A and B are shown apart, each in its own frame.
Chain A
Amino acid sequence: MFGWLVWRDLILAWRRRADVLATLFFFIIVVSLFPLGIGPERETLRTIAPGVVWVAALLASMLSLGRIFGNDYQDGTLEQLLLTPQPAYLVVLAKVLAHWIVSEIPLVLIAPVLGVQFGLSQNGLAIVVVSLLLGTPVLSVIGSVGAALTLGLRAANVLVALLVLPLYIPVLIFGSGAVQASVTGSSPQAWLLLLGAMLIVSLVFAPWATSAALRISVE
């Protein structure tokens, strides 16, 4: 059931490729806006690169949050899924995993290319990928709480940003901290460990909050 649900979401996403690509291009555009706005000085760009990549990743992943449950909620699938004997926790986890694969993995893959544009070193690029790999699942799973709470509300997209972005801040701090550390030459290990800890804690608790929120929204 878990695997089936992930597979189903992946197929659905494949059939609406444009949505996924839109998120990806949003990410690329936001990142490329900064050199245009700040100026092409290499040293400045290298200092701001970690923050820029991470903030853009945050915004891009937030854009796609509505898709985790939105369509299933509208056509009633979500209610049926919650009625299955399967724990809601697993349903949430499966949908979050699918969302991560569809919306976040492309960001992680494209991030090194953007990092090169900002003049990051090879080591820095590796840390960008690792920190994003650890951090983006946290974004998906925390974001799912906000997505579930705002299901079917008017102005849900704006509201999701308001609810979720404050909760994203620790991920942003640790993620960009790791990249920053590698840029300045110190060890990013502590930051990455903190990100990993956040990932584990949020994977344990957030789906639980999400399923509670889903039950509230579907009722």
Chain B
Amino acid sequence: MFRSYSPPGQPARRCGYLWNSGIDFSLCLQCRSQTKVYGTRYGIKVVTATHSDALDQRKCGNFMSKNRINLYKYAAPANFYPLAGKLIPLFAVPSAILFILGMYVGFFVAPTDAVQGESYRILFIHVPAAWMGMFLYVLMAIYAGVGWAFNARLASMMATAISPTGAIFTFISLVTGSLWGRPAWGVWWVWDARLTSTLILLFLYIGFISLQSSIDDARRADRAGAVLALVGVINVPIIYFSVQWWNSLHQGATITKNSFKMAPSMAAAMLILLGACWLYSIAVVLVRVRYIIREREQEAPWLAEATA
């Protein structure tokens, strides 16, 4: 039978796992699955880790109780895992198609640049990669923050899953930028505001990844990473506006809301490749988050069923 662990006179605190799965603590109690007290904090017993049975809605009859629309259904790893598995091809296949299409347009359709010659074509990958590096950092920080604030495991896992992809895109943007800089500026590297702050962005990614990987306790790793990601997010607007704020060798934005200062086919190649990078990122992050779920939920019965 079920026992309440909360101190007398106080309502039971929501436990981390059940909160994520959208199950109210009291609702979950009705399914009478076994609950474990994970630890005590300041003398109050707090249920932080519980049975995974209740995570599996198929077993918890009360999960979809009357009059209760469950908005958080896919916040539970048990539900997200199969969904992600189905979504991956939906993103991966269009991404591959767009990559091929974008490369074709970029190499064969787009005209040779009057000033920069053929070397400008590297920007078709450089610009999307640089954008993705920044966007993914913000996205990662948002996920990490949500995971920290609401104790949502899956959001933290998403942040962890995004970090390598973001780091790779940032790295690609630095490498392609320097390959392009050699013919265009005559040097491989300049210590200019945008390049330096992009380099800092790469360092921040590396710091996030290494911090998380050196903490064994997954929940502590999530939260510590969230603090770091949120502190580092200050850097992103600096990168974005650095070209306007400082006199920079790096050129300003060519694409703005109202004007495309380039040939339509060039813009098309860049935007197609940007779409390809987005879809690629989503697909890869989903693959990685599935691995993270499998790693962290080894004990969960639903996983054994899902992978059987």
Q: Is the CB of B211 within 8 A of A159?
A: yes
Q: Contacts A149-B211, A153-B214, A154-B214 known; A216 to B204 CB distance under 8 Å? A: no
Within 8 A of A (CB), among B195-248: 196, 200, 203-204, 206-207, 210-211, 214-215, 220, 223-224, 227-228, 230-232, 235
Q: Is A3 an interface residue (CB 8 A)?
A: no
Residue of B nearest to A212 (CB): B227
Q: Which of B41, B196, B231, B235 contacts A145 (CB 8 A)?
A: B231
**Beta-carbon nearest neighbor of B203 in chain A:** A166
Chain A residues with CB under 8 Å of B204's CB are 166
Q: Is A217 touching B220 in the complex (CB atoms < 8 A)?
A: yes
Determine whether the beta carbon of A216 is less than 8 Å from that of B224: yes
Assuming the contacts A83-B42, A166-B203, asked whether A150 and B232 have C-beta atoms less than 8 A apart, the reply is no
Q: Which residues of B contact A149 (CB under 8 A)?
A: 211, 224, 227-228
CB contact between B207 and one of A153, A163, A217 (< 8 Å): that residue: A163
Residue of A nearest to B224 (CB): A149
B223 and A216 form a contact (CB under 8 A): yes
Would you call A81 an interface residue if the criterion is a C-beta within 8 Å of the partner chain's C-beta atoms?
no
Partner pick for B210 among A162, A167, A206, CB 8 A cutoff: A162
Contacts of B232 in A (CB 8 A): 166-167
CA gap between A169 and B204 in the complex, in Å: 12
CA distance A163 to B206 in the complex (A): 8
- Complex interface bits, A150-162 against B, C-beta within 8 A gives 1, otherwise 0: 1001110001001
Contact with B231, one of A155, A159, A209, A216 (Cβ below 8 angstroms): A209
User: Is A41 positioned at the interface, with any CB of B under 8 Å from its CB?
Assistant: no
Once the chains bind, are A166 and B207 in contact (CB under 8 Å)? yes
Q: In the assembled complex, which residues on chain B have CB atoms less than 8 Å from the CB atom of A213?
A: 224, 227
CA distance A206 to B230 in the complex (A): 11
Alpha-carbon gap, A187 to B228, bound state (A)? 35
Separation of A163 and B231 alpha carbons in the complex (Å): 11
The CA-CA distance from A167 to B238 in the complex, in Å, is 13
- For chain A, residues 175 to 219, give those with C-beta under 8 angstroms from any C-beta of chain B: 206, 209, 212-213, 216-217, 219
The smallest beta-carbon distance between B201 and chain A, in angstroms, is 9
Taking the closest CB of chain A, its distance from the CB of B226, in whole angstroms, is: 9
Q: Give the residues in chain A near B211, CB-CB below 8 Å.
A: 149-150, 159, 162-163
Q: How far is the CB of B298 from chain A (nearest CB, A)?
A: 23
CB distance from A215 to the nearest CB of B (A): 9
Report chain B residues within 8 Å CB of A206: 231
- Smallest CB-CB separation from B206: which chain A residue? A162
From A155, A163, A169, name the one whose CB has the most chain B CB atoms within 10 angstroms.
Answer: A163
User: B200's contact among A159, A169, A219, by CB below 8 Å, is which?
Assistant: A169
How distant is the Cα of A163 from the Cα of B208 in the complex, in angstroms? Answer: 8
Binding site for A on B (CB under 8 A): 41-42, 196, 200, 203-204, 206-207, 210-211, 214-215, 220, 223-224, 227-228, 230-232, 235
Return 19 A-B CB contacts under 8 Å, by A number.
A83-B42, A145-B227, A149-B228, A153-B215, A154-B214, A155-B214, A159-B211, A162-B206, A162-B211, A163-B207, A163-B211, A163-B228, A166-B203, A206-B231, A209-B227, A213-B224, A216-B224, A216-B227, A219-B41
Rank and list the top 8 A-B pairs by shortest CB-CB distance, nearest first: A166-B203, A216-B223, A163-B207, A213-B227, A166-B200, A162-B207, A149-B224, A153-B214
**Given A155-B214, A159-B210, list of 10 further CB < 8 A pairs?**
A149-B227, A150-B211, A153-B215, A159-B211, A162-B203, A162-B210, A163-B228, A166-B207, A166-B232, A166-B235
